[in-house]
Amino acid sequence: MKCIVAFFALIFATPLWAMPEIQTIVTRQGVNAWLVEDHNIPFVALELRFIGGASIEPLEKRGVATLMTGLLEEGSGDMDAQSFATARETLAASFGYDVYDDALAISAKILTENRDDAVTLLRQSLIEPRFDTDAIERVRSQILAILSSNEKSPRDIASKHFNAKAYGNHPYATNYEGTPETISALTKNDLIDIHRQLLVKDRVIVSAVGDISAADLSELIDHLLDGLPQSSDRPLPQSATVTLDGTIDVIQFPTPQSFVIFGQTSIAQNDPDFFAAYILNHILGGGGFESRLMTEVREKRGLTYGIGTFLAGRDYANLLMGQVSSSNDTVAQAIEVIRDEWRKLAQKGVTPNELAAAKTYLTGAYPLRFDGNGPIANILVGMQRMGLDPDYIKTRNDRINTVSLEEINRVAARLMDADNLYFVVVGEPVGLANN
């Protein structure tokens, strides 16, 4: 869930006037890439996304993609984990490996003077992971420790329950980090299999920002991916059927404050009403202290230190979600206020002043998070995943500014569904029970 919030914050916060022209590339091996050349600093930031992510793994082996990804930097080729780390440090290179439901992400920052050797080392980690027994057990223990910690976290307990309720039999319904049972049962052959199925050429997209030409990037990509399979035998997931309703589920947990996740179905980024929904979320709960929920729940009633909402867009489902913590004896009132604000937006919409203020903030904040090659490369690969055109960064603010009061209020009536706004509460709430 955190990764979803961070992604949307980046995708909608890139500076128009500071962004050079985006070049689109198709390598000789057919890999799509976007490039922004910037030769002012002698390094390049590289981002790869292998589409499918943990959602393509068998449910009975949930967590295998997480374990495999954690082992990519734990030894490859003729290098054990320590030798690989030493080689990477010698080259002053930074590699990152991560996986989540929708993609496996590879990030790299590479100095121009060491580019060839660094790419060769990165390629080795992708093509020839060792999966040594000691490394497997070390990373397995780390994951098991995380899972054990999650069982004591109200936030993680709530998230687990919310996902199970929302997504039914879709992979999103279960934790991509796995369970203690599935993680404990994984074998080296399971890791080899998911590596073969997940890291494939026809599901990869690439972006780069920095000191490299289009021709050199094309050669770099083909060299980096040379040796990976062309395609996977595992199909991508189907769209999830979201099954939320207006109930409140209470999970008893000894804590002085209840933690609450709430949400309903939403609309996709390619929906014509998306930008109106994006602004609407800012007014509702995405705008910090200026949002309606912060005003009503915190400022007027003192029921929480903070509350927020966000558009939780995934490849196969879209939700409008929020989170809040409140004392056990006030959380029922907080939920009542939240649902009331949901209804008010649906019935009365937003005011002209609210719309103007949201537009000013969202367009004015656009350039403020442009802080380097790495974030821009991450944004570019995200844009590709969402099916956006390269000129999106030039038109984004215009799309926000053209949303009218009539349009946003029509979308509020369409989107805001208080009767099917679902809550899961973890704590010892007074006056609340499952319904």
Contacts for 362 with CB less than 8 Å, ≥ 6 apart: 12, 278, 279, 282, 400
Question: Quick check: helix, strand or coil at residue 159?
Answer: helix
Helix (H, G, I), strand (E, B) or coil at 394: helix
Cα 29 to Cα 63, 196, 223, 320, 389: the distances in Å are 31, 18, 10, 39, 22
**Planar angle of CA 33, 386, 244, nearest 5 degrees:** 150
**pLDDT tens per residue, range 134-160:** 999 999 999 999 999 999 999 999 999
Nearest partner of 362 among 10, 7, 4, 13, judged by Cα? 13
User: Residue 361 class from Cβ within 10 Å (0-12 exposed, 13-18 middle, 19+ buried)?
Assistant: middle
Question: Alpha-carbon distance 60 to 197, whole Å?
Answer: 16
SS3 at position 326: strand
Q: DSSP 3-state assignment of 141? A: helix
One-letter amino acid for residue 133 of the chain: T
d(C-alpha 114, C-alpha 2), whole Å: 34
Cα separation, 277 vs 265, whole angstroms: 12
**CATH architecture of the domain with residue range 2-225:** 2-Layer Sandwich (3.30)
pLDDT of residue 8: 42
* Nearest in space to 414 (alpha carbons), one of 335, 322, 349: 349
**Which residues in the chain are classed under CATH 3.30.830.10?**
2-225, 248-427
Residue 282 DSSP one-character state: I
- 63 vs 58, 105, 213, 281, CA distance in Å? 9, 16, 38, 32
Supply the pLDDT for residue 394: 86
Q: Which amino acid, 416?
A: M
Angstrom CA distances, 293 to 65, 256, 275, stand at: 38, 22, 20
- The CA-based angle 311-312-318, given to 5 degrees, is 100
β-strand pairing of 23-26 with 94-99? unpaired
Report yes or no: 297 and 396 within 8 Å, Cβ to Cβ: no
Helix (H) or strand (E) holding 45: strand 43-51
Q: What is the pLDDT along the chain (435 residues), one digit of tens a residue?
A: 444 443 444 444 333 345 568 999 999 999 999 999 999 999 999 999 999 999 999 999 999 999 999 999 999 999 999 999 999 999 999 999 999 999 999 999 999 999 999 999 999 999 999 999 999 999 999 999 999 999 999 999 999 999 999 999 999 999 999 999 999 999 999 999 999 999 999 999 999 999 999 999 999 999 999 999 999 999 999 999 999 999 999 999 999 999 999 999 999 999 999 999 999 999 999 988 989 999 999 999 999 999 999 999 999 999 999 999 999 999 999 999 999 999 999 999 999 999 999 999 999 876 665 678 998 999 999 999 999 999 988 898 899 999 999 999 999 999 999 999 999 999 999 998 776
Tell whether domain 248-427 is in CATH 1.10.3720.10: no
CB 338 within 8 A of CB 322: yes
Which of 110, 121, 126 lies closest to 377 in space, CA to CA?
Answer: 110
89: which 2 tokens?
Answer: 């440090």
pLDDT value at position 12? 41
The pair phi, psi for residue 131, each rounded to 5°, is 50, 50
Residue 199 gets which letter from DSSP? Answer: S
Which among 221, 212, 30 has a CA at the least distance from the CA of 119? 221
Other CB atoms closer than 10 Å to residue 415's CB: what's the count? 23
Token pair recorded at residue 228: 């990976």
CA 220 – CA 198 distance, rounded (Å): 21
pLDDT in tens, 243-300: 999 999 999 999 999 999 999 999 999 999 999 999 999 999 998 898 999 999 999 9
CA-CA distance, 320 to 281, in Å (whole number)?
8
DSSP state, residue 288: G
